[in-house]
A = this chain, B = another copy of it.
Amino acid sequence: MSEHDGVKSVLVVGTGLIGTSVALALREHGVTVLLADQDAGAVRLARELGAGEEWAPGAAPADLAVIAVPPQFVAQWLLDLQKNEAARFYTDVASVKALPIAQAVQLGCDMSTYVAGHPMAGRERSGPAAARADVFLGRPWAYCPVASTSARAVETVLALIELCGGDAVRIDPAAHDEAVALISHAPHVAASAVAARLADAAETALGLAGPGVRDVTRVAGGDPDMWSVILSGNARPVAEILEGIAADLATAAEALRAVSVDDGAAIGRVTELLRRGNTGQSRIPGKHGGPPSAYAVVQVLVGDRPGELARLFQVAKDAGVNIEDVRLEHAPGLQLGAAELSVQPEAAAALAEALRAHGWHVP
C-alpha cells in the first residue's frame, strides 16, 4: 500500500492524551477524524483543539478505529465497534498487549481485522489538553499481529504509524509486555519508591537536592490512578522485575549494615551491583536512537540576558556546526549559567574554537 491510500478516515475512541495526539497528528495529514469518548467534555475539548469532529453512531465505517482506552476496556470496545461495523480495521494504543488480545479472543472478536499496538510516547501530564501532534515523532511504536491477523489490517496500522511519524516495531505480545515491564513499568514503581522517601523528609535535606535525584524521580510525578491501571494490566511481568530490584537493594542494604559495623570488605557486594548498573545503563539507546555518547558536548558559559543564546547559535551556524541538543543550567540569583551543546564529535573542536574566537568562555 502506498501513501496511506487506505487511511482516509479514522475513528478515535478515547480522547485522552494519546488518543487526542493521534487525532492531531492525523489531522495534520488531512485525514478525516471522528472522536468518541464516554466523557462528553473530553470530546468537546479535543474538538476545540482541532482534533476532529464528534462521531455519531450509525456513521459510515471509518477506514480504521484507534481504541485509546485503558487496557482493561480495549476488548469490550473492540467487540462493540465490530458489531456496529464502525470501521474496516481496528487497533489500540494501550501500554500492555497480552491482556487485550486474550480478552478479545475470549469475547469472540474478529481477530483478522485487529492489530494490537502501543506507541512508546507519553508525558507526565495527561488529558486532551496535554496532547501534541508531534509526540510520536521518531518514537518506537510497537505492533503485535497474531496468526489470524490479515495482511491488510497490518498494512493499515503501519500506515497509521507512518502518518504519526512513529518507528514501527513488530513484537510478540508477551515479549512486548516483558519489555515494557523492564524499561517503563518497573522503573516507574522504583522511581516512586525513591521519591516516597522524600514525602516526610526535612526541608533542609530537600534543600541539598541536586539534578541526580530530580532525574531519578521525575517519572514519579505521573498520575497514580492511571499508572495503577497500567500496572494491573501487566502485573506478573512487573512483579518479577520489582522482585529482582528489591532483592538487589536488600542485599546492598545488608552489605552497608555490615560495613557500618566494621566489615569493610562487605562493600564489594555493593560495588558489584554498581558495576551491573554501569553495564545496564550503557546499553540504553541514546535520545536520538544512537549509542548514548554519539555526540560530543561543548560547554560554554552564558549570561542570563535576552539574545545571549541567539548569538551563540549564530556563531555555531556561521561555523557550519549543527547543534543537536542543548542543556542550560542557570544558577539562581546569578547572571551566569553553563550551556552544554551536543554536536557531532568531529565538529566539537571547530565549535569550541569559533566560540572562543567570538569571546565566549569555553572552559
Interface of A toward B, CB cutoff 8 Å: 24, 120-122, 132-134, 137-140, 142, 165, 167, 169, 171, 175-176, 178-180, 182-184, 186-199, 201-202, 204-222, 224-225, 227-228, 231-232, 235-236, 238-250, 252-254, 256-257, 259-260, 264, 267, 270-271, 273-285, 287-290, 299, 301, 304-307, 309-310, 313-314, 316-317, 320-334, 336-338, 363
Distance A217 CA – B184 CA, assembled complex (angstroms): 11
**Residue in chain B with minimal CB distance to A118:** B208
- Complex contacts, A219 vs chain B, CB 8 Å: 212, 215-216
Q: Are B138 and A333 in contact (CB under 8 A)?
A: yes
Q: Are A277 and B220 in contact (CB under 8 A)?
A: yes
Q: Are B212 and A235 in contact (CB under 8 A)?
A: no
Q: Are B321 and A313 in contact (CB under 8 A)?
A: no
Distance (Å) between the CB of A359 and the closest chain B CB?
16
Task: List the number of copies, as a whole number.
Answer: 2
Q: Are B299 and A306 in contact (CB under 8 A)?
A: no
Distance A189 CA – B194 CA, assembled complex (angstroms): 10
Distance A231 CA – B188 CA, assembled complex (angstroms): 24
- Evaluate whether A238 and B225 lie within 8 angstroms (CB atoms) in the complex, with A208-B180, A330-B288 already known: no
A and B contact pairs by CB, cutoff 8 A, 7 listed: A137-B334, A198-B281, A220-B280, A221-B282, A232-B259, A232-B264, A235-B257
Tell which of B199, B224, B253, B323 touches A280, judged by Cβ atoms closer than 8 Å. Answer: B199
Q: Are A175 and B202 in contact (CB under 8 A)?
A: yes
**Residue in chain B with minimal CB distance to A331:** B138
